Every structure is written in C-alpha cells, then in structure tokens.
Structure 1
Amino acid sequence: MILTLTASGGTPAEQVHDQIRGLITTGALAAGERLPSVRQLAGDLRVAPGTIAKVYKQLEEEQLVDTRIGSGTRVSRHASAISANVAHATRHLVDVAKRDGLDLDDVLQVIRVTW
C-alpha cells in the first residue's frame, strides 16, 4: 500500500483517510486484506501514531475496516468497491481535470452540478 502526503493536500489525517478509503472503494484493497499496523504506517509516513489511530478509528466507524486485537486492522467484508467502469471514468476525469488546470474543488462542483 503506497500512500503519500503533500503540503497542500489537507491535514495528514485527512490525506491518509482519503487515500485508504479510495483504495478500498476502488477495490485496490480487497475485503480481508490487512492494513499496516498503526506504528508501521506512522513510521513510514513520518506522522504521529495517534494520527493513524484516528484514521483507522474513523474508517472503522464508516465500516470500511475491522480492527481486532491480535489480528490487526483489515478491510471489512462489508466494504464494497465501486464498479470498474466508474473507477475508469473517474481516473479519466481526474487526468483531464489536472491537464486543464482544475483543482479538486472545481471538479467536485462540476460533478455536483451534473448530478
């Protein structure tokens, strides 16, 4: 699982949450797949373990992951991935939007109006 943090992408917790959520909903992380431990991911990203613990707790509240003492945090069997067609169209939209110089807020506004 490759996550990256940027200076302009929101708080570290928001960025980690959004990226893990994205990996789950696109199917890149499958049901039952184990996430890194809080300490491991915190060390890899150079953030406080409390930041990652907060993210895992939020993902658990969203029923995207299950945490069990002794077996770690795994993608929930209740988490569902979006269809391959939606994932492909989304990647294409993001590529075009970036090429045209739009930011996330611009793209979300377009989606809201179109919806």
Structure 2
Amino acid sequence: MTDLICNGVLDGGRRLPSICQLAGDLRLALAPSRSHTEIEAAGLIESSQPAGTRVPDGAPVIASIGHRSNN
C-alpha cells in the first residue's frame, strides 16, 4: 500500500477498504497491523468515523516506513 500511495497510484481522497475488509481479503487476523499503524503515523493514510480510511490530499512521498538509521 505504501508503494501505491508514494507512486501516485492511490491518490489523495481515495477511499480505502476498512481494516475488517482488508483483513478478510488478505486472510489475516483482524487486529490492526503494525504496518497500518506505521502508514497512518507517516501521514500516508488517515482514518475517521464515519468517513473511513482514506489517502489524504498531499500525502507525503517517502522512501520507506519504519526504516531506522543507525546514525
């Protein structure tokens, strides 16, 4: 999902599937994943009631999520 947002495939305002739907589609446990939390913290997605999860307008383009430098 990060690559799709950063490369402009999923553009600002695009509504994304709910966590429940995404977990079901990917056959994963329902608990929100660490990846989803990191993507939201990076500003690539935003979640709200009742609008759901969306790619915000002006989502930042970043090289990677969760990559930590040892510097």
TM-score range, shorter chain: 0.7 to 0.9
More helix by percentage: 1
- Are 1:77 and 2:57 an aligned pair? yes
Task: Determine which structure has more spread, i.e. the larger CA radius of gyration.
Answer: 1
> Is this contact kept in 2: 1:33–1:75, CA < 8 A?
yes
Q: CA deviation at 1:51?
A: 4.2
Instruction: Work out the CA distance in 1 between the residues paired with 2:10 and 2:55.
Output: 7
Instruction: Work out the CA distance in 2 between the residues paired with 1:79 and 1:46.
Output: 27
Aligned-pair Cα RMSD in Å: 1.8
Q: CA deviation at 1:76?
A: 1.6
Tell me which amino acid in the other structure corresponds to 2:10. L
Q: Name stretches of at least 5 consecutive residues in structure 1 with no aligned partner.
A: 1-19, 83-115
Q: Give the length in aligned residue pairs.
A: 62
Q: CA deviation at 1:63?
A: 0.6
Alignment correspondent of 2:67: none
> Is this contact kept in 1: 2:43–2:60, CA < 8 A?
no
Tell me which amino acid in the other structure corresponds to 1:26. N
Q: Name stretches of at least 5 consecutive residues in structure 2 with no aligned partner.
A: 63-71
Identity %: 40
TM-score, normalised with respect to structure 2:
0.75
Relative contact order, higher structure (CA 8 A, sep 6+): 2
